[in-house]
């Protein structure tokens, strides 16, 4: 599918970290990566479609697929490919087993190294830099990434089934440092998460002619179902990969394609400069949650990029952190009838505030409440006792009221335990 090929091109372009920064290489990269991807899928396609490296079926590779193969009496021999197993299982109505077989048939990242070394690629890309063939650099970049991230080299095992809401916490995969290498790792983690979460978002009927005839009725129904569903993609911490052009381009592409595919996209970051000009131009709603610590130069840049007035900038700089009253925000709505800007309070019920609380002390207290009561009961009690969605102020007040000469350890923990007893 064209959207998947674009995704793979951006992913592999990001994976080749050691090739970035060289103008000559960067000019060659898009064409070279696309050529390698196309040849990779050609070679791993089924023999009847001209593939010369189709993966052969092994009963030990997946017990579930093997069980279904035996259950339906599908004949296999030492030359049976995963493509043939997939087709046979699909014809028997075993959709999940067929999907697993399809993943078994597909190439993995390291297979790209063999394609890069082929005579066809060597003929098309004979260039060298400093006496080193650029294809050797390409191959070395792939191997370095595979060594650092073994997870990107294996077959897909992540199954979402019929899930309607998916939340993916990638904190452990995404480094917090702002070094170039940390940004690179964060971007690879982003691409993995992006593919998991959005795989079906842009799968529409324009692609139907590209699908083998056997599978067209099945996918046509899926496409129709997907086309009528409202979808939402929310992403925080964009700054983690702000310096990686391919990752930024993938987000911009998501925003550009989202509207016509009924995908509502929310992208958040702590600093204004992490959002690209294209993202800002395409945004229909801009929510600014404060900017009180900006320098004069930063304020002027933001005013220009977001087309704000001096009065609006002053208002934005006066925004204070969220409280029990609500979260103060400045919102710009871009509609067909023109642009409107409003200073608002975002308010939610106390149970929801506790559900989304992010302060460490609030998360700790919420976890303690969950351990003592069923989740709904815990949230009800938290909301009734502390409707502002936080106990931070209560803890500060109790600490302030204690004897300043009290040298007891774990004062905050003791207060938390006392508050749980009062809940």
Q: How would residue 381 be classed by pLDDT, with cut points 50, 70 and 90?
A: very high
pLDDT value at 247 more than 80: no
Sign of CA dihedral 83, 89, 94, 97: negative
- 341: its two tokens: 């800007």
Within 10 angstroms of residue 248's Cβ, the number of other Cβ atoms is: 21
Instruction: Judge contact between 40 and 105, C-beta under 8 A.
Output: no
Residues 382 and 44: their CA atoms lie apart, in Å, by: 56
Token pair, residue 385, equals 């006792």
Quick check: pTM over 0.85? no
Domain boundaries, the chain: 156-263, 284-347, 351-422
Instruction: Give the pLDDT confidence score for residue 280 in this predicted structure.
Output: 86
Task: State mean pLDDT over 381-396.
Answer: 89
8-33-159 Cα angle (round to 5):
20
pLDDT at 141 over 80: yes
pLDDT recorded at residue 17: 67
Tell me the pLDDT tens digit for each residue of 303-350: 888 888 889 888 888 888 777 677 888 999 988 888 888 998 888 888
Residue 289, SS3? coil
Residue in 216, 212, 226 with CA at minimum distance from that of residue 105: 212
For residue 208, is pLDDT > 70? yes
């Amino acid at each position: 599918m064209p959207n998947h090929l674009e995704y793979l091109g951006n992913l592999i372009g990001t994976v080749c970290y050691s090739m970035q920064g060289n103008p000559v290489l960067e000019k060659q990269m898009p064409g070279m990566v696309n050529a390698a991807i196309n040849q990779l899928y050609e070679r791993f396609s089924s023999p009847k479609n001209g593939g010369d490296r189709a993966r052969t079926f092994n009963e030990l590779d997946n017990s579930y697929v093997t069980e279904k193969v035996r259950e339906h009496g599908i004949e296999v021999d030492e030359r049976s490919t995963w493509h043939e197993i997939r087709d046979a299982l699909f014809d028997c109505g075993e959709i999940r087993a067929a999907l697993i077989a399809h993943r078994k048939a597909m190439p993995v990242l390291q297979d790209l190294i063999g394609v890069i070394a082929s005579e066809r690629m060597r003929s098309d890309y004979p260039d060298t830099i400093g006496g080193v063939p650029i294809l050797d650099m390409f191959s070395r970049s792939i191997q370095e990434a595979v060594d650092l991230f073994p997870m990107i080299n294996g077959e897909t095992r992540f199954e979402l089934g019929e899930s309607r809401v998916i939340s993916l916490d990638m904190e452990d995969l995404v480094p917090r440092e702002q070094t170039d290498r940390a940004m690179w790792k964060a971007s690879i983690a982003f691409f993995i998460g992006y593919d998991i979460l959005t795989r079906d978002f842009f799968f529409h009927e324009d692609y139907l002619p590209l699908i083998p005839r056997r599978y067209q009725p099945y996918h046509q129904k899926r496409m129709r179902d997907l086309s009528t569903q409202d979808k939402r993609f929310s992403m925080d911490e964009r700054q983690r990969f702000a310096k990686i052009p391919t990752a930024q381009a993938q987000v911009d592409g998501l925003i550009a394609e989202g509207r016509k595919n009924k995908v509502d996209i929310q992208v958040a970051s702590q600093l204004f400069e992490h959002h690209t000009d294209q993202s800002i131009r395409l945004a229909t709603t801009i929510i600014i949650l404060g900017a009180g610590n900006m320098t004069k130069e930063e304020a002027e840049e933001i005013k220009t990029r977001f087309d704000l007035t001096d009065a609006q900038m002053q208002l934005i700089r006066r925004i204070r952190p969220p409280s029990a009253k609500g979260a103060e925000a400045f919102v710009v709505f871009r509609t067909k009838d023109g642009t409107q800007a409003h200073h608002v309070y975002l308010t939610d019920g106390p149970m929801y505030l506790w559900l989304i609380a992010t302060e460490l002390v609030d998360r700790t207290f919420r976890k303690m409440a969950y351990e003592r009561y069923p989740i709904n009961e815990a949230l009800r009690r938290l909301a009734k006792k502390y409707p502002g969605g936080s106990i931070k102020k209560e803890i500060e007040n109790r600490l302030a009221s204690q004897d300043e000469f009290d040298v007891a350890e774990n004062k905050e923990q003791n207060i938390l335990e006392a508050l749980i007893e009062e809940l």
